[in-house]
Amino acid sequence: MQKFCPARCQNINSSSNHSNTQPIGRIEHQCLPALMVMHPPTPPPTLTAGPDRVGTSREAVSAAEIAATQRRNDRITHNFNATVQMFEYLSRCIFETNELRDYQKRALVRCIDPMYNDSKLLLVTRTGSGKSHIMRTLGVAMNGIVVIFIPLLSLSADQMVKMKEAKQLLGSVETHHLDELPTNDGGESLQKIVNRMSQLQEETTSTMFLFLSPQFLCKKSSKPLLDALVVAYERKVLRVVGIDEAHLFVLHSNFRLEIRMLKDLFFKKVFDEKNPKSHPIFLAMTATMPSNFAVMDVFQSRLVNEYATVRSN
């Protein structure tokens, strides 16, 4: 998974009242179980006193290790809460949304926690429950390039307005719906976006949201964009790959075809099996999906097929 953006964390820490807390991405070797609050770990079993514990009773050893485990769990819970505060700060400052719902908190933390399925998540929740806000908040937390595949014409005007009204307080936030670019300008509009992508550096505080249909990326005229996305991955500025309305790509053959075409062109390159630590975050979102359906089978990639699921209550 790409590193959590340290530049954005520094901006947050310098301008919030939680300067002593650390988001997950800045804590080394302390991976946070996102559901720790809901499913706290059980205490370790009682250990018998061995040769290296001469003079120490089994009760004393057990009590000491249970206390150490409790301290560790308290620290993990604190880090979870600190990371949630960071996401809430971004949500409030950039999108003027005051509170995150519980499932949004769990989903966001789980996305950036490398302990879970290499940061690959399937989010299943009803229409209108806030899936798009998870993608927005995740994007401005990670910075860089955020690619979101959508079924053609499915992106509502209201969603685009919300994205384009993002405040520029912590870095520039720009949104492009690539399927709506003019087709009679010889590719000039697309080339401007490609040039902008090439300017982003690994430590950028800018965020580029790119909405597009799979059909768009499959077109021959989109070859410059496809090449730029692969280069962005290699330069570690492609941070998130999202799939909206994922059930359509999985359950309907008309949509599966384009996704399968992108398997070799895009997905196998940015989810390279030889370099899993550099993968962007993968977030698939849907309002309906059979619980026993291997949603990412459409990508025919073992690394993308291992995902976690978060469902709202």
In which band, very low, low, confident or very high, does the pLDDT at 246 lie, cut at 50, 70 and 90?
confident
Q: Kindly state whether residues 76 and 19 are assigned to the same domain.
A: yes
Taking the CB of residue 14, how many other CB atoms lie within 10 A of it? 8
What is the pTM assigned to this prediction? 0.75
Q: Is pLDDT above 50 for 228?
A: yes
211 and 150 in contact (C-beta within 8 Å)?
yes
* Residue 201 within a domain: yes
Alpha-carbon distance of 163 to 250, in angstroms, equals: 26
Q: Is pLDDT above 70 for 135?
A: yes
What is the average pLDDT across 94-115?
86
Largest Cα–Cα separation, the chain: 84
In which band, very low, low, confident or very high, does the pLDDT at 115 lie, cut at 50, 70 and 90?
low
Structure tokens at 123: 């989010």
Q: Kindly state whether residues 129 and 165 are assigned to the same domain.
A: yes
Most confident of 42-56, 190-204, 278-292: 190-204
- Of the three residues 40, 63, 92, the one that is the final residue of a domain is 92
* Residue 246 within a domain: yes
* Residue 202 within a domain: yes
What is the predicted pLDDT for the residue at 129? Answer: 82
Q: Kindly state whether residues 155 and 72 are assigned to the same domain.
A: no
* Residue 285 within a domain: yes
Q: Kindly state whether residues 10 and 133 are assigned to the same domain.
A: no
Q: Is pLDDT above 90 for 168?
A: yes
Q: Kindly state whether residues 139 and 82 are assigned to the same domain.
A: no
Sheet-wide strand order for 173-177: 173-177, 207-212, 144-149, 238-243, 281-286, 120-124, 308-311
Q: Kindly state whether residues 30 and 138 are assigned to the same domain.
A: no
What is the predicted pLDDT for the residue at 305? Answer: 45
Q: Kindly state whether residues 68 and 124 are assigned to the same domain.
A: no
Name the pairing type of β-strands 120-124 and 308-311: parallel
CATH number at residue 265: 3.40.50.300
What is the predicted pLDDT for the residue at 125? Answer: 81
Average pLDDT, the chain: 75
- Of the three residues 65, 92, 119, the one that is the final residue of a domain is 92
* Residue 17 within a domain: yes
What is the average pLDDT across 34-62?
43
What is the predicted pLDDT for the residue at 29? Answer: 25
Q: Is pLDDT above 60 for 170?
A: yes
Alpha-carbon distance of 134 to 131, in angstroms, equals: 5
Q: Is pLDDT above 70 for 290?
A: no
Q: Kindly state whether residues 114 and 82 are assigned to the same domain.
A: no
What is the average pLDDT across 213-220?
91
Q: Is pLDDT above 90 for 143?
A: yes
For residue 28, give every residue at least 6 positions away whose Cβ sits within 8 Å of its Cβ, in sequence order, or none.
Answer: none
Alpha-carbon distance of 298 to 303, in angstroms, equals: 12
Alpha-carbon distance of 25 to 114, in angstroms, equals: 9
Q: Integer distance in angstroms from the first to the last C-alpha of the chain? A: 28
What is the predicted pLDDT for the residue at 217? Answer: 93
Question: How many domains does the chain divide into?
Answer: 2
How far does CA 221 lie from the centroid of its chain?
29
What is the predicted pLDDT for the residue at 38? Answer: 32
The backbone torsions φ and ψ at residue 260, rounded to the nearest 5 degrees and listed phi first, read -65, -35
In which band, very low, low, confident or very high, does the pLDDT at 78 lie, cut at 50, 70 and 90?
low
Q: Kindly state whether residues 304 and 188 are assigned to the same domain.
A: yes
Domain boundaries, position 77: 6-92
In which band, very low, low, confident or very high, does the pLDDT at 3 lie, cut at 50, 70 and 90?
low
- Of the three residues 92, 123, 153, the one that is the final residue of a domain is 92
143 and 205 in contact (C-beta within 8 Å)?
yes
Q: Kindly state whether residues 107 and 88 are assigned to the same domain.
A: no
* Residue 98 within a domain: no
Q: Is pLDDT above 60 for 201?
A: yes
What is the predicted pLDDT for the residue at 81? Answer: 85
Q: Kindly state whether residues 79 and 135 are assigned to the same domain.
A: no
Residue of higher predicted confidence among 78 and 159: 159
* Residue 97 within a domain: no
Alpha-carbon distance of 286 to 301, in angstroms, equals: 20
Q: Kindly state whether residues 112 and 81 are assigned to the same domain.
A: no
* Residue 22 within a domain: yes
